[in-house]
Amino acid sequence: MNPIVLLPTNSTPEINFSATGELLFKGRSLPEDTAKFYDPLTNWIENCDLENVCITVCLDYMNSSSAQQISKFLQTARNNPLIKNCQVKWYYEEGDEDNLDFGKEVMQLTDLPFQFFETAEYIDN
């Protein structure tokens, strides 16, 4: 798989999909056209031929259409028969119950193993 690296903007998150199966969503997600931004990422995971994938979601803000796209992405990962082991690391800020609840909802929808990490402040590394 070819890696995908996108630098963050004011309305889109940092994306770093490595050929080793480490996938990162980090920052803020509120693009005007979420399908245009997320469709290539969903196509990537749909065609992914890696056995092991670790998806890190570290979004301090996402609008409702981005939330739908993240959910779609994770469902696509779950449905890819070539991915044998897929785990999700979900980061949320202390007190951000909405983000935590959304992560739990997506975990139930996708039946993927999730790890939740509460951070005192947004991770910036």
Q: pLDDT band for position 48 (50/70/90)?
A: very high
CA distance 11 to 79: 28
Which domains does the chain possess?
Answer: 4-119 (3.30.750.24)
pTM of the entire structure?
Answer: 0.93
pLDDT for the residue numbered 125? 45
Phi-psi category of residue 63: left, alpha or beta, with phi > 0 → left and psi -120 to 50 → alpha: beta
* 8 Å CB contact between 114 and 103: yes
Provide the residue count of the chain: 125
Please give the mean pLDDT across all residues of the chain.
94
pLDDT digits (tens, 9 = 90+) for 100-125: 999 999 999 999 999 999 988 655 54
Helix (H/G/I), strand (E/B), else coil: 89? strand
pLDDT digits (tens, 9 = 90+) for 19-40: 999 999 999 999 999 999 999 9
pLDDT digits (tens, 9 = 90+) for 56-69: 999 999 999 999 99
